[in-house]
């Protein structure tokens, strides 16, 4: 804006800068959310856009965490490992029963 319109800032130049920024977002829904807040200047529009962007990223991050934290699945490999351990313990227990009791 400074290069295109040198000199003192006017309300017209602020509106042009704000509108150019909103158009450059290339996201009609995002642009509408910011426009609904009626920013008076480019700085206001940028501040609102940053807040909305931060909220959007937090919501996406939260949704991703919930999706992964709720997904629990047992593996057949761990089931096989548990079965092997149970069989080994059973063999050891049987072996201990067969041994004669030590006399003190």
Residue 52 has pLDDT above 80, yes or no: yes
- Confidence band, pLDDT 50/70/90 cuts, at residue 78: low
What is the average pLDDT across 82-103?
77
- What is the percent of the chain with per-residue pLDDT over 90, rounded to a whole number? 12
Mean pLDDT (the chain, rounded): 79
Work out whether the CA dihedral 59, 61, 66, 67 comes out positive or negative: positive
Q: Where are the domains of the chain?
A: 11-98
Dihedral (Cα; 28, 30, 34, 35), 10-degree rounding: 10
Exposed, middle or buried by CB within 10 Å (0-12, 13-18, 19+), for 41?
Answer: middle
Work out whether the CA dihedral 6, 9, 13, 17 comes out positive or negative: positive
CA atoms within 13 A on the CB side of 9: 10
Tell me the whole-structure pTM to 2 decimals.
0.53
């Amino acid at each position: 804006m400074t290069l295109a319109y040198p000199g003192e800032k006017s309300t017209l130049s602020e509106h042009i800068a704000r509108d150019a920024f909103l158009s450059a977002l290339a996201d009609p829904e995002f642009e509408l959310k910011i426009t609904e807040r009626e920013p008076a200047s480019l700085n206001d529009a940028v501040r609102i856009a940053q807040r909305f962007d931060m909220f959007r990223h937090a919501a996406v991050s939260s949704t991703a965490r919930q999706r992964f934290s709720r997904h629990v699945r047992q593996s057949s490999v761990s089931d096989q490992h548990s079965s092997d351990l149970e069989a080994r313990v059973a063999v050891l227990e049987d072996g201990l029963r067969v041994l004669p009791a030590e006399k003190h």
